[in-house]
Amino acid sequence: MLYFILKAAISGVLIALISIVAKRFPGVGALIASLPLISVIGMIWLWRDRPDPANMATHAEATFWFVLPSLPMFLAIPAMLRSGMGFWTSLVAGCLLTIALYGLMVWLGPHIGIRF
């Protein structure tokens, strides 16, 4: 249980740090948020829990493929905000777009030889 609390605390501090930096310097906050820190930390936790090279390779490759459907959200939300749509509406629409694209990736991936 202590290990779980440590993992949650480190991950939570990282997210809190990003939000604090982004308040003052939005670009720097975005840069930090765009770094694959969460993925790297996740891989470290996964490796510590299950040091299996094949499992880690599959995880890292699947992470790459699942990043792709999340990217359009980061263009759709600013476009909606700039067109006058509210923040919460834009955020929900961006999340729904991402969910739909994840679904498409899960369906399409195996058809084009991608293993998750």
Do 33 and 69 lie in one domain? The reply is: no
The C-alpha angle 36, 54, 42, rounded to 5 degrees, equals 30
CA 113 to chain centre: 23
Residue 72 resides in a domain: yes
Do 45 and 89 lie in one domain? The reply is: no
Do 79 and 35 lie in one domain? The reply is: no
Domain that holds residue 102: 64-116
Token pair 């770094």: residue = 35
Q: What is the 3-state secondary structure (H, E, C) of the chain?
A: CHHHHHHHHHHHHHHHHHHHHHHHCHHHHHHHHHCCHHHHHHHHHHHHHCCCHHHHHHHHHHHHHHHHHHCCHHHHHHHHHHCCCCHHHHHHHHHHHHHHHHHHHHHHHHHCCCCC
Do 74 and 114 lie in one domain? The reply is: yes
Do 68 and 113 lie in one domain? The reply is: yes
Do 114 and 76 lie in one domain? The reply is: yes
Most confident listed range (34-38, 40-44, 102-106): 102-106
For the chain, the domain total comes to 2
Q: In this predicted model, what pLDDT tens digit does every residue of 2-40 receive, in sequence order? A: 989 998 998 889 889 999 999 999 999 999 888 898 889
pLDDT for position 70:
95
Residue 76 resides in a domain: yes
Do 85 and 38 lie in one domain? The reply is: no
Rounded to an integer, the average pLDDT of 41-63 is 94
Could you tell me the pTM of the whole model? 0.78
